[in-house]
A and B are shown apart, each in its own frame.
Chain A
Amino acid sequence: MRVYVVDNGGQWTHREWRVLRDLGVEARIVPNTTPFDHLGQVDALVLSGGAPDVASEAARMGNNGEYLDRADCPILGICAGMQFMAAHFGGRTGPAARAEFGRTRLYVDEEDQLFVGIPKEFDVWESHNDEVKDVPEGFQALAHSETCAVEAMRSLRRPLYAVQFHPEVENTAFGTDIFRNFLRAVEEWRR
């Protein structure tokens, strides 16, 4: 299985690559300026986090929009990757009333595919100033925290998944399980 991590300039982009590699996937980091047609044969994409404010700095998010429009494979958006996905499909994003940095309690509302076999409540690590206020039409929110209503979402029509927190860092509990669940969804999509 081949999974590319689209680099949106996150501190933990390389961590995403490492977790995927450790799960036995052929993983590669690609710049977000890579044209979609140059991606070639790929089974899934991970849109990394990064410093850009997706509303005012869309240019720094490169070709993420093209990937979301043209790729039919599963995509996992993380942090800014999730915010971009939400904004791209008509959802609403903006500065969070209270930022979340470091340890945050996550409450899972919908087990869905991403959270299968994981407790309903656990600690995740975050690093965000902005958040998704309203999920786009055709998407469902899957988890929340005390101060952030949308900590995870998925499309009801396509294999698009997204999380606001960072499953790729060591301190997030069950982070590897979330990636494993995503890869399972990729397997199903391939069949």
Chain B
Amino acid sequence: MFDPRAFVEEKVDELRRTITGKAIIACSGGVDSTVAAVLVDRAIGERLRAVYVDTGLMRKGETEEVRRMFDRLGVHYRIVDASGEFFAALKGQVDPERKRKAIGERFIRVFEREAREFGAEYLVQGTIAPDWIESGDGVRDTIKSHHNVGGLPKDMALRLVEPLWDLYKDEVRAVARFLGVEVSERQPFPGPALAIRVIGEANPESVGVVREACAIVEEELEAAARNGSMVRPWQYFAVLLPVQSVGVQGDRRAYGRTIAIRAVESVDAMTAAFSRVPYDVLERISLRITNEMKANVNRVVYDITNKPPATIEWE
């Protein structure tokens, strides 16, 4: 059975031997990269700097929340606002793989600048098994290019260190609990962030719409879990679809976009079943989205597809 204590001891020792100079870690504040940051911090201390990139694609209040978490964690960190260059790279991109690759490359360019500034030659990433499995390789089909694996540019100058390579989310959480990392139970959030929750071009407008819808889905499902009407799903969010449909709002014709709600149960993200969210909880989400976001959205649907054949995120 997987033993978090043995894993931590072995990895810290290995990291101490591998990283001879300075390193930066790409840290989103999620469980994978935060666990990786704590491991590397234990191994090399002040020679590590955590870098959080505000891509402009993050959820509501996320950057501030991560800043407070880093303060409590006590790691050395820097928050970089790179939203301008991310949106510039995403302009006109509608293909999911091209979006993912554009984001992967932008991340690396930011990290290269940060590494140069800090004098680091290593880049630590919280890559876990599903990231490299789904990114494909010589024998495996590419399901989606995860930004931290398949989205890496070929001419990258940094040396990669990925201590969680063989782990799945449940094992990373076990390590997080063992280390006392507060984000151990945080729901997974993909690196390309809200860009892949907008079908079509991700721009400040479309990302703004899905950000609002994601916040409502999170608030309502978490409230339902707190009051005991359901168990909090493993992952839950909104997707903005470019599909427009006719509606009626206060006797006026509406022709707005569609939000799909996605909530799934999983252990390791390699298979997933859609969550049996009670109808009244779904209705509350639908009412809030269509009322609070009336200018943009007039239809809400619930995704009832398992993985396989779907994946958890839509892109």
Name A's B-contacting residues (CB within 8 A): 7-15, 18, 22, 31-32, 50-51, 60, 101-103, 125, 127, 169-171
Contact = CB atoms under 8 A, between A and B. Distances in A.
Dominant SS at the B interface? loop
Contact of B273 (A11, A31, A103): A103
A12 B270 contact: yes
Main secondary structure of the interface of A (DSSP, over half): mixed
Given A15-B270, A103-B273, A9 B141 contact: yes
Contacts of B133: 11, 13-14
Given A11-B133, A171-B271, A171-B273, A60 B139 contact: yes
B167 to A, nearest CB: 9
Interface residues of B, number: 22
Contacts of A101: 306, 308-309
A9 B140 contact: yes
Given A14-B129, A50-B140, 12 more contacts: A7-B139, A11-B134, A11-B140, A15-B270, A22-B2, A51-B140, A101-B308, A102-B308, A127-B309, A170-B266, A170-B268, A171-B271
B308 A127 contact: yes
9 contacts: A9-B141, A13-B133, A18-B168, A32-B139, A102-B271, A125-B271, A127-B308, A170-B271, A171-B273
A139 B237 CA distance: 47
B1 A22 contact: yes
A60 B143 CA distance: 18
Contact of A11 (B166, B168, B266, B270): B270
A10 B136 CA distance: 10
B225 interface: no
A169 B270 contact: yes
A31 B143 contact: no
A159 B248 CA distance: 66
B59 interface: no
A31 B140 CA distance: 11
Contacts of A14: 129, 133, 166
Contacts of B1: 22
B31 to A, nearest CB: 18
